Each structure stands twice: as structure tokens, then as C-alpha cells.
Amino acid sequence: MPDVSLPPVTPGMLFVFAVIIAALVLFATEALPVDVTAIGVMVALMLAEPVTVLAADVGLLAEPVYVLHQPGDGISPLDRGLSGFASTATITVLAMFILSDGVQRTGIIQILGAKIASLTGDSETKQLGATVGLVAPISGFINNTAAVAILLPMVTDIAHKGKVSPSKLLLPLSYASMFGGMLTLIGTSTNILASQISAELIGRPFSMFEFTQLGVIVTIVGTIYLLTVGRYLVPSRIPAKEDLTEEFEMGEYLTEVVVREDSPLIGRTVGEALSASEFDVDVVQLVRGGRTFLEPLGQKAIRAGDVFAVRTDRDTLVDLLDAEGLDMIPEVEVDEAELEAANERKNLVELVVAPGSSLIGETLVSTNFRQRYDATVLALRHGQELYRQRMDHVKLRIGDTLLVQATPESIERLNRNNDFIVAQEVQRPDFRRTKIPVAVGIVAAVVGVAALTPIHIVISALGGALAMVLSGCLRPQELYDAVQWDVIFLLAGVIPLGIALQETGGADLLADLFVMGAGSVLTAGGGLAVVLGLMYLVTALLTNIISNNASVVLMIPVAIETAQQLNANAFAFVLGVTFAASTAFMTPVGYQTNLLVYGPGGYRFTDYLKVGAPLQAVFAVVTTLGIAYFWGLAPA
């Protein structure tokens, strides 16, 4: 056990710790979007020096506070504050988003999914095995969040067709994408960021297949867990029904009404009637003279005898009938078949709010959803919360699921909109299937060049992104839609925080505290493997509360300092933090893929804890032992 003496606490340390605490609170509570919080962190760090210099000049402070550099070192704090935007990790992740989108637009993953789905039938075991077996290897080569977004509709469809609750498959889909992301360097943005930090602090970045052998082991162990123990722990929150009105329990909220001869609504347009109404009601469709009309209905003039399918609750309906001169048609059951009777194609679908969506933090009213998308929202689900009335002012979050009624043409437009994921398979005529060999070849070339030549991954990835455009796999105007800009700004914002933690000595202090805490373990005969396991658990717990990328930035400097104080292999501790940050199973907010399946699966917060905690504990042991075996814990 090394002799540990804590370094003196400086004003710079205190400032950085205050910023970290504020960021942790904002990340955990989601009071602000994570990318906005990250930019706030960056701005606060850059303001620290000039503001405190002014304060010192007027006598308010004894001396300025330096957090991004030290006086006289010749380093520009402005350059360091903005270094996240020029970071190789940020640029590489940006390029990988473009590569993933190029592959996605060929339709190859949907083709693979359809072929596998045709083999699963109604066997839950086969469906679960196919889900895990498909998403894990794919996540090693395209961004794992993108892999989940692409496969979510397929998994939902095979669950319903096989009479299995989608909840039984969607959480395993998220988990498998996470441990599949640990197969290669490019599987997750976390790996790429950790590689850059490792290169800067100890001069050792990750190679393309640096930890593939351990990734294969954790993937196998994770798959066995999901097919055995996990299978019985994952709940069936969503009923295994093909009728979406039943799934969203809309029986009490969908009704058909007819306009009476004496109705005050006659002559007014649907839009005027809805805007003037004090009732919580939506018009879903209009039946007139044997024809059915869907959105846009706003300009339709109301006539006597018009039949409207409306969404409202029973108490409101009673008041609505009297006030607006309407009669209920009680013998008609308004279900999915009734709502889709007028069309050969689907017009009732689930929409999932995608990562990076412009709707996050907005409401149906603030986005003018109905007019903007020519679609009516019948219900909204966030996890286990199901809203079928008074939805207009509910703030939308990643993974929220909307039950939407719209024309087939509107649904096709929604399916092409990156703000949403349509949670059922919708035929996409615009897949570039002739480009499949080209797109796959480009990704293979990116991986091969980065793995087998001295060319850096950022150059290889940018070259691949350029090739996607030049080859026609992506159109130039699609480049910006391909990138999840919230992730890019998150990376750019938190990278300077790691620099500040190092420069102020904050990382040394945290490492000293960790070593002191681990002292009892070493004194009791526990080896370095136990300390590494504790580092894994601390990082995993932190990641389950805040962003995985933020936890890597905070914990890798601490892990390196800890290893150096214990005379251990610093690279092994870096790997422990990386694996822990990339496998956050215990909360829906720990990883974007968990949020993506939260609404469609109807999960409760505690479901993640019940299923994920045992898996997290298993991975802590497997990862620690694997790192000790493959890389060793003694100094390199």
C-alpha cells in the first residue's frame, strides 16, 4: 500500500469540481439537453481565467483562477477550451455517423433482418437469439445507437407477428448493441474518445481490434445471460397484440359521432371548430358519402350527417355531444381495422422520438405537430406512462412513443424524417440496394486501412465518409442529417473538462482519495484485480447516471493516476473504465440505446435495475479478469 498524502486543494480545483457537480446534476436530471450542458461546461471553463483576472485586478480576488493551463506555460487557454471541436475523437465520431448512415440507406440491414425474421416464427427463444445475434456483430462496425434505431421496427414486428410481447426483445436489443459495440474501436463513440484520451495521457491509443478478444468474451457471456437468466427477468410490459388501438388501450378513447341537423358546427371548418373548442378532443378521420378522409382535415367544411372518428375520454364526450350537436354511434367499434378500412396501406403507426430529434424538449403544441406533419397523435407513451388525453403540453423526450394516425403518404414522409423512428416496418422505396456492395466495401476499407496501416482512424473515417458521397451511397444534402449533432457537441463540450481536471490537479486528488479507499482492500490481501474491479464499478455507477462520454472524460485521468500510484499497468485501468462506460445497463438514462427502447417497450425505471444490475455485476468480474489475463496488471 503506497503512502498517500493528499495534495493541497487549490481554487482551480474547487472551481473545476463545482463545474463537475453542476454538470452531473444537469446530466442526471435532464433539466437541459446533455449537449447544451456540455457547451455550458466548456464556456464556464473558458470564462474562469478572464473573469477572475478582472476580479483580481479590482481587488475582489487575491489571484486569478487558472483551470485550462498554468501561468507561463505558453499554452492558450482559448485553444484548449475549444480543443473538443478539433479533437480527433469528435471528428472520427462525426465521420462514423456518416458511414453508418450510408450503410443504412442501402437497406442491407433491413434485408438481413427480414431474412432472420422469416426464420424465427412464433418461438420466443428463436426471436431473442436472432435479435441478439444480429445486433451484436453489426454494432461492432456501425454506431450501436444507429443499429438499434434501424432494427427496432423489425424487432417490434417479429414480436407482434409471433405473439410475443415486444418488451421481451427490446431491452435485450439495447443491451446486445452495447456489448457488441465493444468488439472494435469504432463500435461506440465512447471507445473513440477513450482512445484519444489514452493517447494524450499515456501515449497509447487503441488499435482497431485492440480489445476484440475481450469484446467477444463479454458478448458471449452477455448473450448467454440474456437467453437464460435475463429472459425470465425481462418483463412483458406491452401486450403481444397486432392491433395498436388495443396495445395503447384506446377502447375508451376512440368513438364515432355523427353531426346532427341542428349542430352549431355546420358550415364551420374542422380547423375552426377544433381551435374554438374548449374540449380535449382530436378529429381522427371524417366519413362522408361513403368516402373516408384523413389529415389534412382542417379546411373541410362540416356538414350535417358527417361522421367523425374522435379521440376523447368518456366524460368529455358526454359534454361534447350536448354542446356541439353530435350523436354517438355506439354500435361501431373504432379499432385499427376501422381506422384503416379506407386504405390498402397502413395509416396507423407508432413513432419513436429519435436521438438528436428537433422535437426533444418540445410539445405537440409548440411544434405545431398536426399541421406540420399532417398527422394526429392519439396517444403518447413514455416508459410505463401512457397519455391518451391532455397530451398537448407534455414535453417530448428521446424514446417517447407516439400512436399516430395519418395518410400513407404522410407516414412515408415521417419514415424519411430523422426526427422519428417508425416502429413498424414500412416499405421504403428509396433504399439504394444497388449500392450495398459499395457501402459495405467502404466500411471494410475504413476498418482495414485503420487496422493494417499507419494511417490514423480519423483520416480513414473521413476518407470513407467522402467515398460514401462520391459513390452515390449518400447524397451531399443528406450529410448533415446523418450526424447526431447532440453527440458531437457533447464530445466537444466535455473534452476540455478532462483537460481542466488534469491541469488543476483534480485528477490527482480524486486518485489519491480512491487509493485511500482501496487501501483496505489491498491491506486485506486483495490484489490489483480487485482494485480494478472497484474502478469498473465506480465508472459503471457514474455512467448509469450521466453520459457515458462524460464519465470517460472524468474517470480515465483518475484511473491513470490511480494505476501509477499503485505501480500498476495504467493501460489496463484505461480499458476497465472504457468497458464500464460503454456498458451501462442499470438505468434508461445511462445509454442512448436504453432510452430508445424505453417508450416502445413500455418499461419502468426499475426494469433496467432488475435486469441490468446482475448483468453489470457479471461484466465487472468478466471484464476485470479478462483485462488481467490479456494485458496484465503489472506495469508494462
216 and 312: one domain?
no
Which three-class secondary structure state does DSSP give residue 282? strand
Range of the domain at 284: 250-338
Taking alpha carbons only, the member of 245, 211, 209 closest to residue 450 is 209
- Residue 210, pLDDT > 80, answer yes
Please provide the DSSP assignment of 303-345 as one string. -TT-EEEEE--HHHHHHHHHHHTEEE-TT---SHHHHTTT-SS
pLDDT above 70 (res 366): yes
Contact 601, 171 (CB under 8 A): yes
- Residue 217: pLDDT band by 50, 70, 90 thresholds? very high
7 occurs within a structural domain: no
**Domain presence at residue 319:** yes
**Looking at the domain assignment, is residue 323 inside a domain?**
yes
Residue 542 scores a pLDDT above 80: yes
CA distances from 26 to 12, 33, 582 (A): 21, 8, 20
Is residue 110 located within the same domain as residue 215? Answer: yes
Same domain, residue pair 258 and 238: no
The predicted pLDDT at position 228 comes to 93
pLDDT in tens, 70-91: 777 777 888 888 888 888 888 9
Greater confidence (278 vs 575) lies with: 575
Which residue in the block uniquely carries the three cell numbers 458521397? 469
In a domain, 427, yes or no: no
* CB distance 591 to 584 below 8 Å: yes
pLDDT tens, 388-429?
667 777 888 887 888 887 777 787 788 777 788 877 665 555
- 278 pLDDT exceeds 90? no
- Comparing 158 with 244, the larger pLDDT belongs to 158
Domain end (from 279, 309, 338): 338
Q: Which helix (H) or strand (E) holds 409?
A: helix 408-416
Q: Which is more confident, 278 or 375? A: 375
Is a pLDDT exceeding 60 seen at residue 525? no
Mean pLDDT of 607-615: 92
Asked if 309 and 192 sit in the same domain, the reply is no
pLDDT on residue 214: 96
- My answer on whether 364 and 314 are in the same domain is no
pLDDT band at 250; cut points 50, 70, 90: low
251-268 average pLDDT score: 75
> 438 and 300 in one domain?
no
pLDDT higher at 544 or 31: 544
372 burial via Cβ count (<10 Å: 0-12, 13-18, 19+): exposed
The answer to whether residue 561 scores a pLDDT higher than 90 is no
Look up residue 476 and give its DSSP letter: G
Asked if 104 and 228 sit in the same domain, the reply is yes
Task: Work out the average pLDDT over 432-447.
Answer: 87
pLDDT score, position 468: 92
* Domain match, 103 and 134 both: yes
Q: What is the pLDDT of residue 571?
A: 95
CATH number where 332 lies:
3.30.70.1450
Mean pLDDT, range 533-540, rounded to an integer = 90
Place 225 in a pLDDT band, splitting at 50, 70 and 90: very high
| CA–CA dist 558, 581 (Å, integer) | 14
pLDDT of 107 higher than 60: yes
* Domain count within the chain: 3
Task: Specify the pLDDT at position 575.
Answer: 96
* Domain closes at, from 469, 484, 499: 484
State how far the Cα of 255 lies from the Cα of 300, in Å rounded to an integer: 20
- Is residue 627's pLDDT more than 90? yes
Q: Are residues 209 and 255 in the same domain?
A: no
* Inter-axis angle of helices 124-139 and 212-227, nearest 10: 160
**Structure confidence at residue 172 (pLDDT):** 94
128-142, 149-163, 246-260, 287-301: which is most confident: 128-142
pLDDT at 305: 78
My answer on whether 182 and 326 are in the same domain is no
Lowest mean pLDDT among 224-228, 418-422, 575-579: 418-422
Residue of 214, 15, 110, 149 lying closest to 630 (CA atoms): 214
User: What's the pLDDT at 112?
Assistant: 76
Residue 24 pLDDT exceeds 70: yes
Q: Give domain status of residue 461, yes or no.
A: yes
Output the CA angle 157-163-164, nearest 5 degrees: 80
Q: The C-alpha cell of 43 is what?
A: 464556456
Mean residue pLDDT of the chain comes to: 81
92 — pLDDT class (breaks 50, 70, 90): confident
Q: Is residue 361 situated within a structural domain?
A: yes
* Same domain assignment for residues 113 and 231: yes
For residue 343, pLDDT beyond 60: no
Same domain, 330 and 455: no
Kindly indicate the confidence band of residue 614, based on its pLDDT and cuts at 50, 70 and 90: very high
- Checking if the pLDDT of 589 tops 60, the result is yes
Out of 373, 393, 418, a domain closes at 418
User: Does a structural domain hold residue 257?
Assistant: yes
Q: Is residue 590 part of a domain?
A: no
User: 193: part of which helix (H) or strand (E)?
Assistant: helix 189-202
Please write the tens of the pLDDT for every residue from 144-184.
888 888 888 888 878 877 788 888 999 999 999 999 999 99
